């Protein structure tokens, strides 16, 4: 007995070698960013309320700009969300 699937299979879209290389090299970054956030306990720190990157860096004793890059990576994956503060004067 055989089953048929309605899913179509297509050939991959050709990709320039430089783009393919970047895809291969960059493939480990998302998993490393998840690991770093888990190791630092970022989700636990954000459980009660949103915090700025500066506040998170102080609480985790990490470099603010480096932490920001990790969090931006995770935000691009939908794991965290970046909020902008509105300054009223």
pLDDT digits (tens, 9 = 90+) for 20-78: 787 777 778 888 999 999 999 999 999 989 999 999 999 999 999 999 999 998 998 88
pLDDT at 89: 45
Closest Cα to residue 74, out of 47, 40, 23, 34?
Answer: 34
The residue among 3 and 41 whose pLDDT is bigger is 41
- Place 87 in a pLDDT band, splitting at 50, 70 and 90: low
Task: Give me the domains of the chain, ranges plus CATH numbers.
Answer: 28-89 (1.10.10.10)
Which burial class, exposed, middle or buried, applies to 78 when counting CB atoms under 10 A from its CB (0-12, 13-18, 19+)? exposed
pTM over 0.75: no
The residue among 1 and 57 whose pLDDT is bigger is 57
């Amino acid at each position: 007995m055989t089953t048929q699937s309605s899913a179509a299979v297509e050939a991959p879209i050709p990709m320039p070698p430089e783009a393919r290389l970047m895809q291969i090299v960059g493939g480990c970054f998302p998993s490393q960013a998840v690991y770093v956030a888990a190791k630092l306990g970022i989700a636990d720190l954000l459980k009660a309320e949103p915090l700025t990157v500066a506040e998170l860096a102080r609480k985790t004793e990490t470099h603010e700009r480096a932490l920001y890059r990790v969090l931006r990576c995770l935000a691009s994956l939908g794991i965290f969300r970046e909020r902008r503060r509105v300054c009223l004067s």
